[in-house]
Structure 1
């Protein structure tokens, strides 16, 4: 056997590299009977949060170029609207070792209407509700290298850069005598730049060590973008009998908004699952070491730890997880992941939750 990626195996290695750097491979929208590719479905649950993903690829040029398409849906809270993200891109292998990837993703417009306070006719106070929403558009570029040989020690590494622009909007509505009045409405832009790196080390064909990390750079404070300003708060206070209720409105809105945007502002919604955790606030950086053991050609297990530092004032997150993959046939595999997430908000008690991910992939 020669060194490098073997004939007939390059496509599998390209796809594995693409998944490692977070390139979505989605359910195909064109006839596939004459082309190679794969389809994958994955669903994750953690507390009130849900995500589901359809991933797949189709070969454009044999063992070299792949069209990538994708969809991810997410619900961060039981009483908020769904988030939808669509992606399309290309993976291109340069020789036997390098892979270049480009991806465009669009977060479809999302709007949530949240009741805040009931109408109080005796006090002459209207019912209040907030209408919040956002959309996003972004691009990701990545390059990966895999030694692709057959020695006892093989390795790979990758670098990526993501750029996403968010349009955040919020509005407070007052309803009295069956009539709605908009107290104020505001739109805020927010830009996220996310560089990331990863490394993989394969030992004696059975062991694989991995390390990944990412940095999150924002054009503004993600905690204040889309939030009430002091002028808006003053307007809310004017409509209330006491300042305490206005402060409660601000606090409730702040917590809900941060929670609602946490997964989207992670900049990796397509990759959120049990092993990465569900972010509860915008991140500053994250790191994830992992170890995988191949028990046989059909079964492998992985143990991983993910640490996330949220933006200042929001604390940290720890996720300890395990993933088990079973390959009952050459073209088919199943996996399940279980994890324990522990969020540590600054000045508050830790919040712990269990996470579950189930997935399947078919290669043709």
Structure 2
């Protein structure tokens, strides 16, 4: 499931000259593991297609496959079921109602998949490895709208808004727990007692220790504005706000439940809001884009998140383009533990 962090960019193509296109982007990520974010990294391939249907309709589709890297296993112990493969599919349509207004609908489905990961923490003063397994499926529905001034002045505007409803179904359990110093089995009761305090750094493991099956239903409200200045520079800002029907603090280990379903720079906990300013400048066929991102997680699930990123793109012709992007993300959990993630992506697109 792709988080629509740049809603203005998503509709910009729809309100520009219409044409069918296909893109492919491969990304790799590396993550500094913490008990709340027990991930090592991933390799992902995202393919998208956009096809004109009639004079004012465009059909869109995407497919993503993500290979989660296995986290390091404890010395002297065998945790074979680490890592995993996750798939995600989406489809939708955009309607150019007028020269200024565009409306869209997107349905996203990530079928049930299982991820295994090793979390390292301390139990009774001994380093302990916990094998966590999460089986999850996710579905969402998004309605979006955009208004483009569509003029020829020195400053043109694109305003966007969207409402997204999503549902996460997850089953989580601790499959094994072993002391890292000698590989012997650790007591789940001792593990639970260690993790119950709010600032323990592993409180999100408690539902999985007990055996957890739950649902997290949420709504996201998004708004954005993008200004094109002198035809070569785009300056924009996007804001996402999240509300929950279920208690997000009871979602278990969020990163394992949603691994591979939100892209490489995934949140470590349910979000409350995200703010993302960005700027793009075109130097003929070459363009450079930079962005920053700040946000907050829901209370008791996390503290803050921040990211910086850049993208460079070159158009070899009117039909073919390639790009490379890099980003870094910093997340802080309720205990103050910091997780850092780096992402590098390479992509290409062809327009018919």
Question: What TM-score results when the alignment is normalised by the length of structure 2?
Answer: 0.71
Distance 1:332 1:49, change over 3 A: same
In terms of fraction of residues, the more helix-rich structure is: 1
Alignment match of 2:238 (pick from 205, 209, 212) = 212
- CA distance in structure 1 between the aligned counterparts of 2:237 and 2:140, rounded to whole angstroms: 25
Following superposition, the deviation at residue 194 of structure 1 comes to 0.8
Q: 3-state DSSP class of the match of 2:248?
A: coil
Structure 1 runs of 4+ with >6 Å offset? none
Following superposition, the deviation at residue 222 of structure 1 comes to 2.7
The 5 A counterparts of 1:44-193 are 44-47=27-30, 48-62=41-55, 64-75=56-67, 77-78=69-70, 79-113=82-116, 131-171=133-173, 186-193=212-219
- CA distance in structure 1 between the aligned counterparts of 2:303 and 2:133, rounded to whole angstroms: 27
- CA distance in structure 2 between the aligned counterparts of 1:192 and 1:23, rounded to whole angstroms: 28
Aligned partner of 1:312 in structure 2 is 299
Distance 1:113 1:57, change over 3 A: same
Matching of residue 301 in structure 1 with residue 288 in structure 2? yes
Following superposition, the deviation at residue 334 of structure 1 comes to 0.8
Which residues of structure 1 form unaligned runs of 5+?
1-15, 25-34, 118-127, 175-182, 228-256
Alignment match of 2:257 (pick from 261, 277, 297) = 261
Which residues of structure 2 form unaligned runs of 5+?
1-5, 31-40, 71-81, 121-129, 177-208
Q: 3-state DSSP class of the match of 1:279?
A: coil
Following superposition, the deviation at residue 264 of structure 1 comes to 6.6
Aligned partner of 1:180 in structure 2 is none
Distance 1:263 1:329, change over 3 A: same
CA contact (8 A) 1:261 1:282 kept: no
- CA distance in structure 2 between the aligned counterparts of 1:278 and 1:22, rounded to whole angstroms: 24
Following superposition, the deviation at residue 96 of structure 1 comes to 1.1
More divergent stretch after superposition (350-359 vs 134-143): 350-359
Following superposition, the deviation at residue 362 of structure 1 comes to 0.2
Question: What TM-score results when the alignment is normalised by the length of structure 1?
Answer: 0.69
- CA distance in structure 2 between the aligned counterparts of 1:49 and 1:133, rounded to whole angstroms: 17
Larger Rg: 1
1:231-281 Cα deviation digits (max 9, x unpaired): xxxxxxxxxxxxxxxxxxxxxxxxxx232135578xxx2xx35xxx33222
Distance 1:328 1:258, change over 3 A: same
Following superposition, the deviation at residue 345 of structure 1 comes to 3.1
- CA distance in structure 1 between the aligned counterparts of 2:61 and 2:149, rounded to whole angstroms: 27
Distance 1:210 1:95, change over 3 A: same
Distance 1:17 1:285, change over 3 A: closer
Tell me the matched-pair count: 282
- CA distance in structure 1 between the aligned counterparts of 2:237 and 2:108, rounded to whole angstroms: 25
Cα-Cα RMSD: 3.1
CA contact (8 A) 1:262 1:282 kept: no
CA contact (8 A) 1:56 1:69 kept: yes
- CA distance in structure 1 between the aligned counterparts of 2:12 and 2:156, rounded to whole angstroms: 21
CA contact (8 A) 1:54 1:72 kept: yes
The answer to which structure, 1 or 2, has the higher relative contact order (CA under 8 A, 6+ apart) is: 2
- CA distance in structure 1 between the aligned counterparts of 2:293 and 2:273, rounded to whole angstroms: 11
Aligned partner of 1:41 in structure 2 is 24
- CA distance in structure 1 between the aligned counterparts of 2:220 and 2:136, rounded to whole angstroms: 19
